[in-house]
């Protein structure tokens, strides 16, 4: 679960950075915003995968006992 927390913290930090970029910019670079959103999506996807793997390991260990 530590990996999940780490991936989610990266996504949260990138979200804040992107929001700050949009707030401070007079014009929005749509390509940069799109890349940032894609990166947030990838980080979130990694979090979901790590959560699923952790859940599977936990279920496997419970069945073994």
Two structure tokens written together for 39 = 């990166």
**pLDDT tens, 41-50?**
999 999 999 9
Give, in degrees to the nearest 5, the angle at Cα 42 between 36 and 45: 145
pLDDT band at 3; cut points 50, 70, 90: confident
pLDDT band at 2; cut points 50, 70, 90: confident
29 secondary structure, DSSP code = -
What does the chain come to in residues?
65
Contact indicator for 10, 43 with CB cutoff of 8 Å? yes
pTM, two decimals, is: 0.78
């Amino acid at each position: 679960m530590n990996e999940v927390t780490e991936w989610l913290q990266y996504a949260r930090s990138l979200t804040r950075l992107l929001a700050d970029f949009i707030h401070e910019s007079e014009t929005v670079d749509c390509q940069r915003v799109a890349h940032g959103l894609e990166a947030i999506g990838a980080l979130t996807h990694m979090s979901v995968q790590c959560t699923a793997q952790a859940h599977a390991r936990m279920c496997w260990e419970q069945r073994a006992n």
